[in-house]
Each structure stands twice: as C-alpha cells, then as structure tokens.
Amino acid sequence: MNGFSLLFGPEGWGGLLLEGAIVTILLAVTTVPFGFGSGLALAVLKLSPNRVVRAFCEGFTTFFRGIPDLLSLFIVYFGLQALIDRASKLAGLSSAIELNAFFAGVIALSVVVAAYSSEVWVAALNAVPKGQSEAAHSLGLDSRKTFFLVLLPQLIRIALPGLGNIWMVLLKDTSLISTLAVIDLLRAASEASKNTTRPILFYSAAAAIYLVFSILSGLVQSNLERRANRGFA
Amino acid sequence: MLQTLYAEAADLFNFEMMSRYGWRLIDGLWITAQVVTISVTLGFLLAYPVCLARMSRNRVLSAAAVSYVTFFRGTPLLCQLYLVYYGAGEIRPLLTDLGVWWLFREAFVCCIFAFSLNTAAYQAEIMRGALASVSKGQIEAAAALGLSKFRISRHIVWPQAFIVALRPFGNELIAMIKSSALAAIVTLLDLMGQTRFIFARTFDFLIYVYAAIIYLVIVEIIRRVWGLIERSCSRHLIAATPATHSRGQDESRISRAGRHGLSHGGSPQSQGA
C-alpha cells in the first residue's frame, strides 16, 4: 500500500494518529492549570519568611529541574503507584488499585512543569514593585483581593514569555508519556509503524502534527503577549 | 544497637542491590558521558554552517536553515530519535549500499546522530543570537580602520559573541545531558538505561532516586565549572557592572533546567540577545 492510503484510506492509520493527537493536546492542556498553578504556589512559598518552607521548595525545584524529565516522570509515576499500594494495604483493601495512566501522566507532567514555572513566577513576583501591593492595601483591599486583582494581572504579563517557553517544552514532553501506558500521538505512530513496517512514514506524520502544534502555539503566544502588553511601550 | 542502625541504613541504601548492580550505574554513566560529549561536539560543528546559512542573504539558504531549526526545535526529541532509529531499519538496503548500515545498526550511533542534529538546531540559534548581539558600530568601526573581513570576525566579533554565548551553551550542555536519558528508550544502556535494567531486576524504587542524585551531581558540577569559566572570561567586564546578587537576577545565571530559558520560536523580538 502506498503512504497516502496507509494514512487516509479506509484501512488507514490516520484515525489512530488523530486520536493520539487529541490525547497529546488533552495531556498538555490538562497539565497547564495544575502545573502553572502549583508553580505559582511554589514561587510564593519560596519567598516566604519561613526558612524551612523556603528550603523545602528550593529543594523540590532544584531536584526536578536538575534531573532528566523522563526520570522525573518515572519517579512520580512509580512513586505514586508505590504510595497507593502502601495506602491501600494500610486501609486493608484486598485488591490493588491501578493508577489511571492518563492522570498519573498529568500529575507527573505537572510536577515537572511546576518546578520549571516556579522560577519564572519568582522572577515575575520580584519584578512587580512592592509599592503596588502597599498601595492596594492602603486602598483597603484585603490580601486576597490584592493578589488576584492587583498582582496577578501584572504577574501574568511579566511571566507570559517564560510560561510560553515552558508550554512548548510541555507539549514536547507529553511524548515521554508514550513510554507509560498512554496512547498519545507518538505511541499511536509507534503502533501504526509496528503494524505496517513503515516507521518513516508514521513518525514523519507525527512529527508534522507536533510541528503544527508548535507553530500554532508560537502564534498564539505572540498574540497573547501583544494583548498583555497593551498600554506598555 | 549497631544492628538496628544497619537495618535503618539498609532501608535507605540497599547495600545488596548496590554491591550487585552498582557497577552498572558506573558503566551507564560512562556511556552517557560519551553520548553527550560526542553529540554536543558534532552539534557544535554542524551549528556553525547552519547559523551562517540562517544569517545569509541568500533566501533559499536562509529558508532551509530556518526550516531545519524549526523542525528540530518544534518536534519532540523522542520522535526524532524514533525516526532515526526505526527509520534506519526501514531503509536498510539503501544504507547497506552506502556502506553505513553497520553504523546505524547500533543504538549508540543512532542516538548520537539524532542528538547531534537536534542540538545543532539549538546551538545555531545561540550562535545567531550571540553574533547579532555584537553592535553594528563595532564592525563598521573595524572596517573603517581597514581590517579585513576575517580579522573583523576573529578579533572583533567572535571574542564578544563568545562571552554572550557562553552561558546559553552551558545551558544547552545541561539540556543535552538530561535529554540523553531518552537513549534508554531505544535500548541503549546509558545511566538511565542501566537504571531501568536494575529496576526491572530488583523492583526497588530507590534505584531511580540514586540515578536522580547522580544526574543532579553532574549538572551541579557543570554549573559550577561553567560559572568559573564565565567569571574568568569576563574578568574585564566585572568592574563595569555593579556586583549585586538579588534574587531577581537568578534568571541571568546558568540554570539547572537547560533550555527552558531559551525562547522556542514564537515572537521574534523575544529571541536573540
């Protein structure tokens, strides 16, 4: 069979690739709120006056930034599984609970993204002048309102380029989840090429889809940055 | 007393596993070192022509360089590695005719091939940014003094670009060390591969933690050494900049994460420098 009908024909593998592509996007998009959110929390804790908290958060970041992403995923994935096994044994459950691979993948990616993004958030937190929160306080805003209405919008503007880079890394890191039991885009391409012995065709197709995602992300990112920088020279 | 202490320690450090499999980690570390050193060096050699092509006025050349860089930075390294590793098997007759099949049969060579092409794309961008950071006035002034093109490059542009590029190059080296763990997925027994092997034998989760500590130590050593190199290369600049080390400036120091400080395409104004 020629490449075209292998991809788009009725017996073709295009459908599987498409499903894989959707899983890839879902993985990345689901990770964003958890990853960036806990990254921001980590950043706030890193600036806390408590030394122990600060040291713990710095240690967490140093660890997950300094080791291969693949190793981080394995550590979180197998570590979670071990924790769950131990917990279910303590609870006296007879059958072991299997971790859903998709959500384990999201958690693992979130840990990596949180570690990376916390550095971006710390830089952003330092870049917002202190007078901003002081002014908000003197206007009578409580600390919650100060954070969400005054600081966060400015933080996002400053952090956007850095977060955009991390999004790109995240998009590509989802491919590592294919080594666990999730059928993402890369895994779909692997399945297809194993069944047809046409790896070049299918991995090129997968690469092309990743490339489209990357280029689209780049466009969206520069758009968002332009929007966020309205009113700034 | 001693026995309980030993038992406590054995809980944190599996002596039996390490005495049986410890040498495998050393072996793996050696392979990782080879893969990274060779790939980064080949990548560097390849990056220079790519960078020149990217900056050339010839439209075809620069478009080709841009596509190369976009492809290798826009797709996952694992996908590129599969393309090389499994793709080589598919075009085996062609490779045999070319007389290079014996090379591509080895996972080691496939990894180096894929990693070199990948890092070349990133390094080319680093070089471009560094070369572009040298102000035009410097080159014009040198030309006005009658220096030849080669001398302008050799004595004016490169020394200044080198200092700018040093830190991103360090980050790229660290990124490659971390990325090299992907080699384990295509059966190469590097540090990560040996770790997986030991885990498959012992089911002791701790082995992943040991591997993580080894990676951390390597990355930290490189960070320190790079800091020293950088300080000695920019001695003449230190006096001019006030020595403030606030937390906000952490961004500008060499990072453990590697590439994450680098712009991945997107807005052109955020690139370079």
Which domain CATH number covers B70? 1.10.3720.10
Q: Is A75 on the interface with B (CB under 8 A)?
A: yes
Name the residue among A123, A206, A215 with its Cβ closest to that of B251. Answer: A123
Which 3-state string (H, E, C) describes chain A?
A: CCHHHHHHCCCCCHHHHHHHHHHHHHHHHHHHHHHHHHHHHHHHHHCCCCHHHHHHHHHHHHHHHHCCHHHHHHHHHHHHHHHHHHHHHHCCCCCCCCCCHHHHHHHHHHHHHHHHHHHHHHHHHHHCCHHHHHHHHHCCCCHHHHHHHHHHHHHHHHHHHHHHHHHHHHHHHHHHHHHCCCCCHHHHHHHHHHHHCCHHHHHHHHHHHHHHHHHHHHHHHHHHHHHHCCCCC
In a domain? residue B68: yes
What is the arithmetic mean of pLDDT over B45-68?
Answer: 94
Q: What is the ipTM of this complex?
A: 0.90
Between residues A9 and A173, the one the model is more confident about: A173
What is the arithmetic mean of pLDDT over B138-164?
Answer: 91
In a domain? residue B270: no
**How many domains is chain B partitioned into structurally?**
1
Collapsing DSSP states into helix, strand and coil, what is residue B121? helix
Question: Which residues of chain B lie closer than 8 angstroms to A62, CB-CB?
Answer: 216, 256
Q: Is A217 on the interface with B (CB under 8 A)?
A: yes
* Closest residue, chain B, to A204 (C-alpha): B83
In a domain? residue B181: yes
What is the arithmetic mean of pLDDT over B37-54?
Answer: 95
In a domain? residue B58: yes
> Residue A21's pLDDT is what?
94
Q: How sure is the predictor about B263, in pLDDT bands with cuts at 50, 70 and 90?
A: very low
Q: Which CATH class is domain A14-228?
A: mainly alpha
Q: Is A16 on the interface with B (CB under 8 A)?
A: no
C-beta separation of A196 from A202 below 8 A:
yes
Query: Domain range spanning residue B179?
Result: 7-237
Angstrom distance (rounded) from CA A164 to CA A156: 11
Q: What does the pLDDT look like over A195-217, one tens digit per residue?
A: 888 899 999 999 999 999 999 99
Chain A: give the shortest CA distance to residue B186, in Å: 11
pLDDT averaged over every residue in chain B? 84
Q: Is A116 on the interface with B (CB under 8 A)?
A: yes
Q: CB under 8 Å to A15, separation ≥6 — which residues?
A: none
In a domain? residue B230: yes
> Residue B116's pLDDT is what?
97
Q: How sure is the predictor about B101, in pLDDT bands with cuts at 50, 70 and 90?
A: confident
> Residue A28's pLDDT is what?
95
Q: What does the pLDDT look like over B214-253, one tens digit per residue?
A: 999 999 999 999 999 988 888 887 655 554 444 444 445 5
- Flag the least confident range among A69-73, A188-192, B10-14, B104-108: B10-14
Parse chain A into domains and list their residue ranges: 14-228
| CB neighbours of residue A96 within 10 Å | 11
Are A68 and B181 a contacting pair at CB < 8 A? yes
In a domain? residue B271: no
C-beta separation of A178 from A190 below 8 A:
yes
Angstrom distance (rounded) from CA B7 to CA B5: 5
The answer for A 174-193 residues in CB contact with B (under 8 A) is 174-176, 178-179, 186, 189-190, 193
Identify which of B144, B182, B14 has the alpha carbon closest to the alpha carbon of residue A70. B182
Q: What does the pLDDT look like over A45-81, one tens digit per residue?
A: 999 899 999 999 999 999 999 999 999 999 998 888 8
Q: How sure is the predictor about A104, in pLDDT bands with cuts at 50, 70 and 90?
A: confident
Question: Which residues of chain B lie closer than 8 angstroms to A210, CB-CB?
Answer: 74-76, 79
C-beta separation of B47 from B115 below 8 A:
no
Residue B266 has pLDDT above 50, yes or no: no
What is the arithmetic mean of pLDDT over B145-173?
Answer: 91
Q: Is A197 on the interface with B (CB under 8 A)?
A: yes
> Residue B270's pLDDT is what?
37
Are A186 and B78 a contacting pair at CB < 8 A? yes
From the candidates B79, B196, B254, which should be mutated to test the interface with A, based on the most A CB atoms within 10 A?
B79
Are A66 and B219 a contacting pair at CB < 8 A? yes
* Closest residue, chain A, to B67 (C-alpha): A211
Q: CB under 8 Å to A27, separation ≥6 — which residues?
A: A102, A105, A106, A109, A174, A177, A182, A184
Helix (H) or strand (E) holding B250: none
Name the residue among A79, A116, A222 with its Cβ closest to that of B257. Answer: A116
> Residue B97's pLDDT is what?
87
